[in-house]
Structure 1
Amino acid sequence: MQYYRQDGDDASRLLAVDDASGTAAYDLTAVKPRLRTFRDLAAAANVAGTGVDALTADLVADEPTVERPDDAEAALPLVPEEVWAAGVTYEISEQAREEESGMADVYLDVYDAERPEIFFKATPSRTVGPGEAVGVRGDSDWNVPEPELGLVCYDGEIVGYTVGNDVSSRDIEGENPLYLPQAKVYDRCCAIGPCVVGADAVDDPHDLGMSMRIERDGETVYEDATSTAEMARTCEELAAAWRAHNAVPEMGVLLTGTSLVPEGEFTLTPGDEVTIEIAGIGELSNGVVEV
């Protein structure tokens, strides 16, 4: 199932799209008024000792369908209490981080180390959804989008997947790795969406096609594709490292690392449009503004 949040006149609603047909959607809030968010559904599934998809299937078995949401018009699919991210989980990311930094060895060491890099990324107020603009820092001259598979976690356990954009200031981090928080955490620094796909609906999160396209003034200035099969660490490994000795939030998102990096000194500029797609999950599109 794909789970979308739809903004209403008085409150949001939670919609579920049947993966089998791709066209049938169900209004979970109409079935159970207390199920207004994906967090509500994850909490109910946790209490019932089942998965979100299994619970949804039981709830909508005899319910009428509604119009399927459009990715481009979807709202932020969930409001995570915290967004965290993993770094240097793909070889291309390790190479890019070496390129931007005068202390390249620190990235090579992390790529090969037992302990992954896990860092805090965003609060709810710094996170945007589909169709909303991500931000680039006004004090940075080298800003890039980073397309990533997002792990949606309830009480630290993976219950779903989403698409993420970990926007980063490469020149700030490259100047000194200690500047990582400023390069990563700022207004509109993160986008997630367009939906959450239940964990049971993804056969293998380590074999998903992923692509990114950047358009400027109506022209494509960057386009490439890859696969999560290139990730050097597993989703479970990253989630375990995030949980270790850490009081994780009830509802959180963990981004799993950068799979595509624009070459050279390509930088985002205000007015650009970034589109990231992960097979089976959806397409996340965001404009760009300076913050």
Structure 2
Amino acid sequence: MNAVDLPKDGVVLGRVWSSDAQGPAVVTLRDGEVIDITSKTAATVRDICELDDPSGFVRNASGRSLGSVEAVATAPVGVPDRTHFLSPCDLQAIKACGVTFAGSMVERVIEEKAAGDPSKAAEIRDRIGSLIGDSLRNIEAGSETAQLVKNALIQEGLWSQYLEVGIGPDAEVFSKAQVLSSVGLGADIGLHPISKWNNPEPEIVLTVSSKGRIVGATLGNDVNLRDVEGRSALLLSKAKDNNASCAIGPMIRLFDDTYGMNDVRNAELTLTVRGEDGFVLNGRSSMNQISRDPENLVAQTIGRHHQYPDGIVLFLGTLFAPTEDRDHPGEGFTHKIGDIVEISAAGLGTLRNRVKLSTECREWTFGASHLMRNLAARGLL
């Protein structure tokens, strides 16, 4: 995992583990160098995202070089005496929206109807496809047309809780990971060992201030355990929130006159999975096919009904549906240990991670209390 593809334009914000400070540093990129801009004003990424003009602050912040982008991006992750990239968020809550695209909606119904059994997926997919086809693709969630489709599906015995959040008035929003637990560029990403049917989920991740203002975007992998969640939606937390199961990065592209919400709405994400067995999977997710506007998803997550004093990062969901067979006909794709997952989008770079079991990934040991003590010892609080 030595290839480096970080955002090359605009103002970017991220975090690294600083070997000098033996703790996280807030960084940006300038002229091919990783610049440490950590200060009392900008002790955390959260602090910068709460400013009136985050991109302006980062653009003008003084700092010092920690090395070349290539050197830092290819340094071994988790080695304390090597400066390496971390997930670009810190104190923000990590939230995610599910079933926001028509294609993934249908696949979630298949997971539920198959009760986590991949061998049943092809038959159910054919049946649902013959009844629904592409009729969900252009439906506005919560509209009168969506209600008519809902009624038709109920009559066919195919209504599902996944379709409810896909085309009903209320979006699915869940907690993906704990504060400071997400992994970043180059880290191993984890699968719970009970899962035998799973896949990556390439997504745009918005960075949102405590006031609900969207200040930037990055990429994320919302790992999906299809068999676990397919057995019961009540297993969502068990399926989603595990050691190293959430990857975000490589850096946050802060909004300014060069990049903003319209770029997010029109973003084209590409996914590549390369297995040690020679298998290659290519996928795409087009944000212009999302069934709910990203700003609506933010409003359903943070507001008078739910406050987040340190802001949030919000996964927006994915169009990608892993139907290509890997091992057995009709069972679709599932990960194998050692897979390299790359998620890319213009202006946001590439998030690259290797797949392992969550029980084999580096344990998460640096929490909020450790961060506060570290910053205090460095005179930053």
TM-score, structure 2 as length reference: 0.67
Shift of 1:142: 0.8
2:54 and 2:355 map into 1 onto residues whose CA distance is: 33
* Amino acid aligned to 2:317: G
Does residue 1:180 correspond to 2:236, yes or no?
A: yes
Instruction: Give the percent of matched residue pairs that are identical in Structure 1 and Structure 2.
Output: 29
Deviations 1:89-138 (A, max 9, x none): 11111011011112752222222112111111100354211111111111
- The equivalent residue for 1:94 is 105
* Cα deviation code 1:192-241 (max 9, x no counterpart): 01101102242311001101111111634211223211111111111100
Counterpart residue number, 1:285: 352
When the two structures are aligned, how many residues end up with a matched partner?
A: 279
Which deviates the most, 73-82 or 245-254? 73-82
* Alignment equivalent of 1:29, drawn from 26, 37, 51: 37
Q: Secondary structure at the match of 1:35?
A: coil
Counterpart for residue 47 of structure 2: 40
Question: Which stretch of the first structure deviates more once superposed, 105-114 or 127-136?
Answer: 105-114
- Counterpart selection for 1:55 from 51, 54, 57: 57
CA separation of 1:278 and 1:52: change in aligned 2, threshold 3 A: same
Worse overlay, 9-18 or 241-250:
9-18
Find 2:316's aligned residue among 231, 250, 256: 256
2:25 counterpart residue number? 13
- 1:79 and 2:138 are equivalent in the alignment: no
- 8 Å CA contact 1:24, 1:66 repeated in 2: no
**Whole-Å Cα distance in 2 between the matches of residues 223 and 188 of structure 1?**
23
Larger proportion of strand: 1
The structural deviation recorded for 1:67 is 5.7
Unpaired runs of at least 5, structure 2:
1-10, 76-84, 114-157, 324-330, 359-381
Q: Which runs of 5+ in 1 are unaligned?
A: none
Q: Are the structure 2 counterparts of residues 165 and 40 from structure 1 closer, same or farther at C-alpha, using a change threshold of 3 Å?
A: same
- What is the deviation of 1:148? 0.7
Alignment counterpart, residue 332 of structure 2, candidates 249, 265, 269? 265
Give distance in 2, aligned partners of 1:66 and 1:290.
Answer: 32
CA contact (8 A) 1:161 1:197 kept: yes
CA contact (8 A) 2:209 2:310 kept: yes
TM-score scaled by length of structure 1:
0.86
What is the rounded CA distance, in whole Å, between the counterparts of 1:53 and 1:281 in structure 2?
Answer: 15
Tell me the amino acid that sits aligned with residue 7 of structure 1. W
Shift in alpha-carbon separation, 1:182–1:66, aligned structure 2, 3 A: closer
